[in-house]
Amino acid sequence: MSPRSSTPPPPEDGVGRVVDIDVEDEMRTAFLEYSYSVIYSRALPDARDGLKPVQRRILYGMSELGLRPDRPHVKSSRVVGEVMGKYHPHGDGAIYDALVRLAQPFTMRLPLVDGHGNFGSLDDGPAASRYTEARMAPAALLMVTSLDEETVDFVPNYDDSLTQPGVLPAAFPNLLVNGASGIAVGMATNMAPHNLVEVIGAARHLLEHPDCSLDDLMRFVPGPDLPGGGRIVGLEGIRDAYLTGRGSFRTRATARIEKVTARRTGIVVTELPYLVGPEKVIERIKVLVQGKKLQGISDVKDLTDRKNGMRLVIEVKNGFHAEAVLEQLYKLTPMEDSFGINAVALVDGQPQTLGLKELLRVFVDFRTGVVRARTEYRLARRRARLHLVEGLLVAILDIDEVIQLIRSSDDAAAAKERLVSVFDLSDAQAEYILELQLRRLTKFSRIELEAERDELRRLIEELEAILADETLLRRTVSTELADVAKAHGTPRRTVLLESAGTPLTRTTPLEVADDPCWVLLSSTGLLARTSDADPVPTEGPRATHDAVVGAVRTTARGDVGLVTSRGRMVRVSALELPALPPLGAAPSLSGGAPLAVFVDLPRGEEPLTIVPLDDDGPGVALGTAQGVVKRVTTDYPGRADWEAIALKDGDSVVGAAALRDGEEDLVFVTSDAQLLRFPASAVRPQGRAAGGMAGVRLAPGASVVFFGAVDPAADNVVVTSSGSSGALPGTQGGSLKVAPYAEYPAKGRGTGGVRAHRFLRGEDALVLAWVGARPARAAGPGGVAVELPAATGRRDGSGTPQASVVAGVGAPVRPPA
């Protein structure tokens, strides 16, 4: 790019001048120049050879240095210095980074640089340029072949001292084969690698059938072929990308389940998604295990080496199904990743978003022009050579007269003029005869010249035929592409799967009957479904994770709604939940899975309970920390999540309950130990966008700690736990009290309620409250069962001090009406 302006010469009188420049105009001009420079000279590849300027200059510089595949490697720093000094006046770090990428087999589907030394891995960077060596890879020769035959235009380098090619005469569609990525100003490009044989097959088909459809081309190129293999799940996004230039697809690791020891089953990963390294997967697994979001993994080992390639072994604990663990890994770790295609490249110097057919057409048109220019160059050279050979044959036939004519001439110029006039030769032929060596005057030399003349005439005829027939020209391009595919093609590495999301290792949903079941949520955040439709038992010995805070009767293929503290409902499929065996005692969700496996909640958003998503119920009641109550109508949308209440700033949902018949009591319990109950009929149903209405009147500094709905005719209890508001949660047992629900009189909506708990010394707030049917079940932080004290008759009495911390309280599941 030419400089924006030149520095004016100093004034003759030596006195400087101050020039006023509008800052806005200067900023606009400078930014535009910077944007153009990034787009055209740095970030975006050319659609013809698929190279960015720095990559093109690296390959050209290596070609000029003679670093062919049959020559020894040289220090990478020498290549970097050559390119930086002659063609690319930027930092050596940027040039070396581009050189390294061209040599990495896990980045490029067909590497263009043959690297020797540590060129990095998916998890580590390369060694410094002084420690590595490089030369051109065999595929790089295809990029620079016929560069000296006037096939492409040369442009001046940065200081006009040398010339460099504006584009390389690429012999294969490098942009599709190796992909590209770059971020410019206001635009970016991201293209996936493809298989060389498939891409060339599509290019040849386009040469023969210029009006072919995208479906015809996709018979040759069904999808990307990533260097590391793996699996691509779902092909709709790929077709969108091939049609419009924009789309995305999901890649999965290739894994199998096998016995890693005599007593252990493991998941062996042999291929990972594109540009995902094993250390990244291992780190993510460790974080999830430590956060108890991923269960069933005992150890992870990276056994990758040069002999066996990628081998990541994930050991599964006894008692866990390896298939289920693998599904969690796909959902929570980079073992399943998304790749977005944004095919932006330069066409005639302009950035354009191109589909598969457009990319192939740009290449075949460019390659056809290269072959035409090469043919014209070769034709001109052979015609010139034939002209000289024919003149030399004329001289050899009358060699004695030619020698006499030359000897009798005063000088070379006179000899040249006499040869032209006597033998009817051209200046070039006469000059060539004067430079003739005596050893060419033999009889054998004449036979060689006649054979060369005949061969030149045959080649000229072939070249003229190619230039005269466009079909023959395109056939020549197609044949050369076929030769490239035969010499450099490799089998496909990536497996393409039609499924858009069906797990590969778990039984497909079609094999699961749509039988009635219960979906349960424990106080420890475990989700599961029962394998039968019988009512969940309420009696029996206590077990871990048996404090159920949510239970919904549905079917195996049904959905339930998860209510969060931010007032959202998230749809959860029952089919994805682990199935519990038939329950003969109190329900225990020890075999369940963490809720985080199925729902990814942002930081600060907590799950509360699960509710049915039936369309014919009276709705769901919600209560917030600031005392707002809302009854949500059941016109739920079909999407994955939606807002159930419009919260005010600083407010959050503390409880939710599905109403069975609308005759329930709605109950608030506040942090200052006030309990308010009123009929659900006092709250009119509202749409999802509404913010609710006044539920309970709060004292200054107080907030709601519990909200729920209970059947006033059932045998209900009120469980409250008091403690110090200044203590950290879970650090003290507090005082527990259980009282009959009937002891608390009903009040009107919007009032303050009645006293529910008397604080002891050192206690100033309720840290936990729960209202529901007997028998109430409590659990500690780890799901361990905690026994509650016996119920007392005083609603405003004090609690019984407890040594165990109560993390949650649940209720038995009500039998179906």
Number of domains in the chain: 4
Residue with the bigger pLDDT between 454 and 579: it is 454
| pLDDT above 60: residue 5 | no
| Residue 776 pLDDT | 82
Does residue 757 sit within a domain? Answer: yes
Neighbour count for residue 71 (Cβ, 10 Å) = 11
328 and 264 both lie in a single domain: yes
Indicate which CATH number applies to the domain containing 709: 2.120.10.90
| pLDDT above 60: residue 730 | no
Proportion of the chain above pLDDT 70, given as a percent = 89
d(CA 8, CA 114): 49
555 and 449 both lie in a single domain: no
**Three-class SS of residue 83?**
helix
Does residue 21 sit within a domain? Answer: no
543 and 584 both lie in a single domain: yes
The stretch 234-259 carries a mean pLDDT of 91
Q: Where in the sequence numbering do the catalytic residues fall?
A: 131
745 and 669 both lie in a single domain: yes
328 and 394 both lie in a single domain: no
460 and 590 both lie in a single domain: no
| pLDDT above 60: residue 26 | yes
Indicate which CATH number applies to the domain containing 275: 3.30.1360.40
Proportion of the chain above pLDDT 90, given as a percent = 50
Does residue 185 sit within a domain? Answer: no
Does residue 37 sit within a domain? Answer: no
* Whole-number Cα distances in Å, 18 to 15, 25, 96, 176: 10, 17, 43, 53
Does residue 631 sit within a domain? Answer: yes
| Residue 813 pLDDT | 64
Indicate which CATH number applies to the domain containing 466: 1.10.268.10
217 in Cβ contact with 202 (< 8 Å): yes
335: amino acid identity, one letter = M
606 and 741 both lie in a single domain: yes
289 and 164 both lie in a single domain: no
Task: Tell which of 453, 488, 523 closes a domain.
Answer: 488
445 and 559 both lie in a single domain: no
Q: How far is C-alpha 692 from the geometric centre of its chain's CA atoms?
A: 41
Does residue 112 sit within a domain? Answer: yes
| pLDDT above 60: residue 251 | yes
Tell me the per-residue pLDDT of 538-586, one tens digit each, with 9 for 90 and over: 666 777 888 888 888 888 778 899 999 999 999 998 866 777 777 766 6
722 in Cβ contact with 735 (< 8 Å): yes
| Residue 14 pLDDT | 56
| Residue 570 pLDDT | 92
Residue with the bigger pLDDT between 412 and 617: it is 412
Task: Tell which of 419, 454, 488 closes a domain.
Answer: 488
| Residue 126 pLDDT | 94
Task: Tell which of 117, 152, 169 closes a domain.
Answer: 169
Query: What per-residue string of b and e applies to 98-111 under the rule 16 or more CB within 10 Å gives b?
Result: bbbbbbbebbbbbb
Half-sphere exposure of residue 203: CA atoms within 13 angstroms, side-chain side: 35
| pLDDT above 80: residue 513 | no
Per the structure, the complete domain to which residue 659 belongs is given by 509-810
| Residue 43 pLDDT | 76
d(CA 198, CA 177): 9
Does residue 224 sit within a domain? Answer: no
Q: Please provide the average confidence, as pLDDT, over all residues in the chain.
A: 86
639 and 562 both lie in a single domain: yes
d(CA 449, CA 445): 6
Tell me the per-residue pLDDT of 134-146, one tens digit each, with 9 for 90 and over: 999 999 999 999 9
Tell me the per-residue pLDDT of 482-505, one tens digit each, with 9 for 90 and over: 999 999 999 999 999 876 444 434
* Whole-number Cα distances in Å, 669 to 564, 703, 706, 725: 19, 9, 5, 16
Q: Write the secondary structure of 178-210 as one string of H (helix), E (strand) and C (coil).
A: HCEEEECCCCEEEECCCCHHHHHHHHHHHHHCC
- In sequence order, what DSSP letters do the residues of 384-398 get, joined into one string? HHHHHHHHHHHHHHT
Residue with the bigger pLDDT between 647 and 729: it is 647
393: amino acid identity, one letter = L
The stretch 518-532 carries a mean pLDDT of 85
| Residue 392 pLDDT | 85
Asked which of 246-250, 621-625, 787-791 is least confident by mean pLDDT, the reply is 787-791
380 and 526 both lie in a single domain: no
371 and 413 both lie in a single domain: yes
- Split at pLDDT 50, 70, 90, the class of 84 is very high
Tell me the per-residue pLDDT of 384-405, one tens digit each, with 9 for 90 and over: 999 998 888 888 888 888 888 8
Structure-block tokens of residue 26: 């200067």
* Whole-number Cα distances in Å, 415 to 318, 389, 430, 465: 101, 19, 9, 39
Q: Which residues pair with residue 734 across a beta bridge? A: none
191 in Cβ contact with 343 (< 8 Å): yes
| Residue 731 pLDDT | 58
Does residue 196 sit within a domain? Answer: no
- Split at pLDDT 50, 70, 90, the class of 1 is very low
The stretch 292-312 carries a mean pLDDT of 87
| Residue 22 pLDDT | 77
- Split at pLDDT 50, 70, 90, the class of 263 is low
Q: Which residues pair with residue 159 across a beta bridge? A: none
- Report the range out of 294-298, 538-542, 562-566, 611-615 with the highest average pLDDT: 562-566
d(CA 677, CA 664): 10
Tell me the per-residue pLDDT of 168-217, one tens digit each, with 9 for 90 and over: 999 999 999 999 988 876 678 899 999 999 999 999 999 999 999 999 99
